[in-house]
Amino acid sequence: MSGWDHGRGARPAFDALPGGPATGAAHGTSAGSRTAALTACTGAATSTTPPRAAAVTDLAGAGSTFDAPFFNLAFPAYQQAHSSTAISYDAVGSSAGITRFAAGQVNFGATDVPASPADLAGARGGTALQVPVDLGAVAVAYNVPGLNGTRLKLTGPVLAKIFLGQVTKWNDPALAVLNPGAGLPDAYITVVHRSDGSGTTYIFSNYLSQVSPAWAKAAGTGRSLRWPAGTGADGNAGVAHAIETIPYSIGYAETSYTRGNAQGYAAIANRDGNYVTPTPAAIAADAAAKPAISAQDFSIVNQPGAAAYPISGYSWVLISARQPSEPAGQALVSLLSWLTHAGQSYAASLGYVPMPAAIEQLASATLARVTSPAGSLAS
């Protein structure tokens, strides 16, 4: 494997993962072997032997589709400056990413909600560390023909009623009172939700559980839910596509998936009663209200603040505390150190928010705990 690859192909087991550098002749006879054979036949070595290919360390990751736009931009940029590292990433959803990581099929897993002890019990790589990597938000997107550019306003309790299947038409009085003059149509609402295990679903359902006791009782918070209403789609891209193609639909997706598309996204009433859209400033305001987080205390939904967007959250990368080899471990730590610091500029260009300094420090402190068979990997 070389270069950038974000397909969905299965990866080999952990003990077959890149535990050290490849030489560019991973299959068949190496360049050095071919030179030796030529020397044996001719009795003299040729002076035109090509230089040995530079060692390349392969890193494989899988998981969050919330992170995929950021990774799709940042990883190729990192590889361009670090030709000795090749990165692949499969955007298969947070739950699948956790599963692949625990099974030892990838070097890192990505998830929008930290993995639980139960998720990581028996992980083949041993003790896992969880590193915050980006800060973003979940937008509530909709496709309602005839609104003529009017942005819908929604409160948390009304949004919960829509996803509970209790508000079923766009001109329901609960929606009409929030959007006077919007010309809401007499049409049934199609709810679109994730069909796969999703950290985006966790953030969204965590928010609904905090603002609606009825939602908390009926559906609760999790990566996978028993949905009371609606139709499922795979990944953030799948949900965004379904909303764009199904008239009178509503759903949720990471913010960058709704930018530049035909559908609109709602202004959500925050804890202070103000209607806010998921702008970088509003996401940052929500995060600022809870400056200290950890893999055990991570939720930042529905924080106080006049400008805070209430459906915001951090995403995390799972790595083994003890790496299988020095080259693989050093390459992984170097990548994540860059991603959580200088690489945040690529997140900002997509509408994510560069992580606050305190969270960058948390990432650095977590990476400093990574070791290899040769000892500490901290720089």
Residue 7 CB partners (closer than 8 Å, separation 6+): 88, 90
CA 196 to CA 248: how far, in whole Å?
Answer: 23
* Residue 55 confidence (pLDDT) above 50: yes
Q: Each residue of 2-15: pLDDT tens digit?
A: 334 333 333 333 33
Query: 38 or 164: which carries more pLDDT confidence?
Result: 164
Structure tokens belonging to residue 352: 């994510």
Does a structural domain hold residue 7? no
Which pTM does this prediction carry? Answer: 0.84
Give the range among 68-77, 148-157, 165-174, 313-322 with minimum mean pLDDT: 148-157
Residue 324 CB partners (closer than 8 Å, separation 6+): 14, 15, 17, 19, 125, 372, 373
State CA 308 to chain mean position distance. Answer: 21
Does a structural domain hold residue 8? no
From 312, 341, 357, the end of a domain falls on 312
DSSP label at 91?
Answer: E
Q: Each residue of 308-323: pLDDT tens digit?
A: 999 999 999 999 999 9
* Residue 284 confidence (pLDDT) above 50: yes
Mean pLDDT, rounded, for 357-370: 97
Q: Note whether 54 and 327 are within 8 A (CB).
A: no
Residue 51 CB partners (closer than 8 Å, separation 6+): none
- pLDDT-derived band at 332, boundaries 50, 70, 90: very high
Mean pLDDT, rounded, for 329-337: 97
Same domain, 319 and 346: yes
State CA 89 to chain mean position distance. Answer: 11
Q: Each residue of 213-242: pLDDT tens digit?
A: 999 999 999 999 999 999 999 999 999 999
- pLDDT-derived band at 46, boundaries 50, 70, 90: very low
Query: 51 or 279: which carries more pLDDT confidence?
Result: 279
Same domain, 324 and 288: no
CATH number at residue 122: 3.40.190.10
CA angle 137, 139, 141 (to 5 degrees): 170
> How high is the pLDDT of residue 365?
97
Its domain, for residue 107, covers 14-46+55-134+313-376
Q: Note whether 69 and 33 are within 8 A (CB).
A: no
Same domain, 141 and 250: yes
> How high is the pLDDT of residue 316?
98
Q: Please, what is the average pLDDT of the chain? A: 87
Domain count, the chain: 2
